[in-house]
Amino acid sequence: MTYVCPHCHQPGIAAMAKRWSSRASPAVCGLCGKLSHVLASTSSGIGVAGLLIVVLSGIAAAAWDMAPLVLLGLGLAVANNFRAWRRATLWPISKESADNARKVGWFVAGLLALFGLGS
């Protein structure tokens, strides 16, 4: 499955490229070669929604002593994940912005490692 590129408006972005895209590692359109990404808040929200569905189904299964509710929750979480990623919007990003985001990410990772080693 391919998704529509926000630059050329043609289906040129692969499904996995969309799922793994970020500001620092954007998806590349196979047709025009330009970059785009899914907002971090959207991708994080999709994961949190899935986790919330599974946890709530586990709590309901324990409270009502109905183990199949966990399987129902897992199915709902997977279905929600597919639906949410299909609906997630790709945003255009320039190569310069992506490079800057990558540099900032490495800088922050270095700081975290530095402070993690100090304690």
As a whole number of angstroms, the distance between CA 20 and CA 24 comes to 11
Beta carbons within 8 Å of 6's beta carbon, 6+ residues apart: 36, 90, 91, 92
DSSP-derived secondary structure for 96-115: HHHHHHHHHHHHHHHHHHHH
The residue-averaged pLDDT of 70-97 equals 97
pLDDT tens by residue, 54-73: 999 999 999 999 999 999 99
The residue-averaged pLDDT of 1-23 equals 96
Please report which confidence band the pLDDT of residue 116 belongs to, taking 50, 70 and 90 as the band edges: confident
User: Taking phi first (over 0 means left), then psi (-120 to 50 degrees means alpha), and beta for anything else, what does residue 109 get?
Assistant: alpha
Q: Residue 38, class by beta-carbon neighbours within 10 Å (0-12 exposed, 13-18 middle, 19+ buried)?
A: buried
For position 52, what pLDDT does the model report?
98
Please report which confidence band the pLDDT of residue 119 belongs to, taking 50, 70 and 90 as the band edges: low
For position 61, what pLDDT does the model report?
95
Please report which confidence band the pLDDT of residue 98 belongs to, taking 50, 70 and 90 as the band edges: very high
Q: Give the global pTM.
A: 0.83
